[in-house]
A and B are shown apart, each in its own frame.
Chain A
Amino acid sequence: MATQYQQDDDSVVVIIGSGAGGGTLGNELAQKGIDVVILEAGSRIEFEDFINDEWDAFAQLSWLDNRTTGGGWRITKDFPNLPAWIVKAVGGTTIHWAGASLRFHEHEFKALTTYGKIDGANLLDWPITLADLEPYYAKAEDKMGVTRTNDIAGLPGNNNFKVFKAGADKLGYKECHTGRMAINSAERDGRNACQQTGFCFQGCKWGAKWSTLYTEIPKGEETGKLEVRPNSHVVKIEHDVSGKVTGVVYADKDGNLHEQKARVVCVAGNSIESPRLLLNSASTMFPDGLANSSGQVGKNYMRHTTGSVYGVFEKPVHMYRGTTMAGIITDEARHDPSRGFAGGYELETLSLGLPFMAAFLDPGGWGRTFASAMDSYDHMAGMWIVGEDMPQEQNAIKLHAELKDQYGMPIPDVWFTDHANDEAMRNHAYKQGMALYEAVGATRTFPTPPYPSTHNLGTNRMSEKAEDGVVNKWGQTHDIKNLFVSDGSQFTTGAAVNPTLTIVALAIRQADYIAQEMAAGNI
């Protein structure tokens, strides 16, 4: 039986959320002997219980609490109440993620310096550099078992990868391989090797893909210093007259409210819920929400410039067989303004099962154009675009003026509009992706619009100066020294890489800092 802490125990570090940020931070702190309570809004579902079925798994795992959307993105029309495709369960979105584990490029920590000022973009340099994060990237790669690091072999290429690689060669791309994946190519750290099952997004039933659910969390629990409390949805963070946070109020599975006292609070609820919680915690002392003296809480919402390209071939591909995202081309990740945009993008293999292909290929589409595309399902290959998008102040998580959740708290309203740079990048990537498949003989290609966001970033951003952002280079809020942000909402800019490895590296680094500051009596 794992340790249980008393609700009035004000010596614990409370972490809100158990995904890449919260789950990792919880284990790291517990390993140092610090008492931790992780409050997770979702339930605990072990990997044996994951379902190889897209809609059933979606219902089992997804964050489906009511949300609204606004702005110019197509999501407002096609999926108005589903801005994000993320998980509400112990392990968070590390259950759903694809496993792609890439380091930022050096220039991506210095977006403002590298790209210069861009109209309409709220660009800023990170207060840290690649050199600051490199030792933590190394620890994260080892912890997660990332292929092509630490002498771990790459995954074998599946059919979808082989088509992708053949096209990459035809286009003259030089950097194409089966990726740096936190998916075991051989047994490691008590976890199975990948069995090429193809349901990475539905939760890996083999446990071959790294998820905090069956790595960080049980390891932390083994120390006797970590309690994970599922079905505990935090609605408010409390503070005292000195402005320090003192605990959190959360609803249990029956909707009853409890208060958990805390010495330190770390918010890791993903880039929609984390700023929402800070805004919903407004008080007389902090009328604009906690840690919001800059006015940047909830702002600069980023989701990566994404999109997919599917190609139809004369002969079968069966793209859905095997690891979903074990394939990458990094040639376009460079910053090269001659292409007509700042920043870069990666191309990565991707497939959807038939039910989700129907939902996402061309949302709202129907008729023979659509149906004939579906008829070619087993002859399709697919790729995903993941590029750096511009932080914009009006792209934001706001509190809904009228709608409340089941606990009486305003729901999040997610606003997003592409920047012209995002559109130029996506169009370039569509063109390259279609050319790649045509080079291998595709008879038809589809530039598919972005899905609901899985990479939600930037809404509590890191900044050197307190007036520019929400947290400092340790993820500690500028305004309240015992309040931290520990998820992707810290990102100052998004870079052209999948964010999980960086979230994990930041969490390991943050654990060192929290332990040091607690030991020094500063927090």
Chain B
Amino acid sequence: MTTVYQQPGLSRRELLKRGAIGAALIIAGRAVISPDRAWGLEATSLKPDTVATLIRMARDTYPHDRLPDRFYAIAIKGHDTKSAEDEAYKALIEDGVADLDKRAGSVGYRGLGWEEERVAILRDIQDSKFFQTVRGDLVVSLYNQKEVWPFFGYEGEAFSKGGYIERGFDDIEWL
């Protein structure tokens, strides 16, 4: 199961010392922490840096600007869980992320400032097993989170509310 927890206090000084750049994710021990310290995600088998890069890659793959990072973190957590049980899978993910960083040059994938630069790298590897594995998982693990549905205006389960017969199935007014 995914554990996204409230991050224990890190001082501003510590955060700066750890080299957080802009909106970048912070690595502290095994944890990946959001810049606003609203949440943290513990990496159990993958490197914390790998987890942070997967979160960035997930947003680059399905960029929804109004969707907070924590949903992307939840969406990619399964790779960490699966890597704990499957060495070959772990290698696929670690090697794939290492390849992203290599292609990005000295700053690494997360260090590239523009989405276009990162996406250009993803386009180059989009037929790879690594990318297809991550994207194929993400299209379910991101969009199937009930908590993200309100961001898209999708209301989900309707039976318990009596359907939409009294709740706007025909309420369109602009036609």
- A195-B162, A196-B163, A317-B172 provided; 10 other pairs, C-beta below 8 A? A55-B144, A162-B172, A196-B164, A321-B158, A322-B169, A322-B170, A355-B140, A359-B140, A374-B62, A375-B64
Residues of A within 8 A of B142 (CB): 358
- Let me know if A378 is at the binding interface, CB within 8 A: yes
B residues contacting A by CB (< 8 A) are: 60-64, 66, 115, 119, 122, 126, 135, 139-140, 142-144, 149, 152-160, 162-165, 167-172, 174-175
Q: Nearest Cβ distance between residue B53 and chain A, in whole angstroms?
A: 17
Closest Cβ neighbor of B160 among chain A residues: A52
- Judge whether B62 and A196 touch: CB under 8 Å: no
Q: Nearest 5 CB-CB pairs, A to B?
A: A378-B153, A195-B163, A197-B163, A322-B169, A358-B143
- Judge whether A371 and B174 touch: CB under 8 Å: no
- Let me know if A53 is at the binding interface, CB within 8 A: yes
- Let me know if A43 is at the binding interface, CB within 8 A: no
Q: Nearest Cβ distance between residue A247 and chain B, in whole angstroms?
A: 42
Residues of A within 8 A of B149 (CB): 354
Bound Cα distance from A157 to B165, whole angstroms: 11
- Judge whether B159 and A197 touch: CB under 8 Å: yes
What are 15 A-to-B residue pairs whose CB atoms are below 8 Å?
A52-B160, A53-B157, A54-B144, A55-B144, A166-B175, A198-B163, A314-B174, A318-B168, A321-B169, A353-B156, A358-B142, A358-B143, A366-B62, A366-B135, A377-B152
Bound Cα distance from A159 to B168, whole angstroms: 8
Residues of A within 8 A of B157 (CB): 52-53
- Judge whether A355 and B63 touch: CB under 8 Å: no
Closest Cβ neighbor of B63 among chain A residues: A371
Partner of A198, one of B61, B144, B158: B158
Bound Cα distance from A440 to B175, whole angstroms: 8
Interface centre among B119, B122, B135, B164 (most CB of A within 10 A): B164
- Let me know if A163 is at the binding interface, CB within 8 A: yes
- Judge whether B174 and A315 touch: CB under 8 Å: yes
| A159-B170, A163-B175, A195-B162 known; A353-B154 Cβ under 8 A | yes
- Judge whether A159 and B172 touch: CB under 8 Å: yes
- Judge whether B152 and A375 touch: CB under 8 Å: yes
Number of A-B residue pairs at CB separation under 8 A: 123
Closest Cβ neighbor of A48 among chain B residues: B159
- Judge whether B143 and A354 touch: CB under 8 Å: yes
Partner of A52, one of B63, B122, B158: B158
- Let me know if A316 is at the binding interface, CB within 8 A: yes
Bound Cα distance from A355 to B62, whole angstroms: 13
The digit string for A278-317, where 1 denotes a CB below 8 A from any CB of B, is 0000000000000000000000000000000000011111
Bound Cα distance from A194 to B164, whole angstroms: 10
- Judge whether B61 and A367 touch: CB under 8 Å: yes
Q: Nearest Cβ distance between residue A214 and chain B, in whole angstroms?
A: 16
Interface centre among B63, B135, B144, B160 (most CB of A within 10 A): B144
- Judge whether B175 and A196 touch: CB under 8 Å: no
| A196-B169, A197-B164, A371-B63 known; A318-B153 Cβ under 8 A | yes
- Judge whether B164 and A52 touch: CB under 8 Å: no
- Judge whether B154 and A378 touch: CB under 8 Å: yes
- Judge whether B140 and A320 touch: CB under 8 Å: no
Bound Cα distance from A358 to B148, whole angstroms: 13
- Let me know if A415 is at the binding interface, CB within 8 A: no
Bound Cα distance from A156 to B155, whole angstroms: 21
Closest Cβ neighbor of A157 among chain B residues: B170
Q: Which of A350-402 contact B (CB under 8 A)?
A: 353-355, 357-359, 364, 366-368, 370-371, 374-375, 377-379
- Judge whether B135 and A198 touch: CB under 8 Å: no
Bound Cα distance from A455 to B13, whole angstroms: 63
Residues of B within 8 A of A195 (CB): 162-165
- Let me know if A103 is at the binding interface, CB within 8 A: no
Q: Nearest Cβ distance between residue A99 and chain B, in whole angstroms?
A: 15
The digit string for A411-449, where 1 denotes a CB below 8 A from any CB of B, is 000000000000000000000000000001000000000
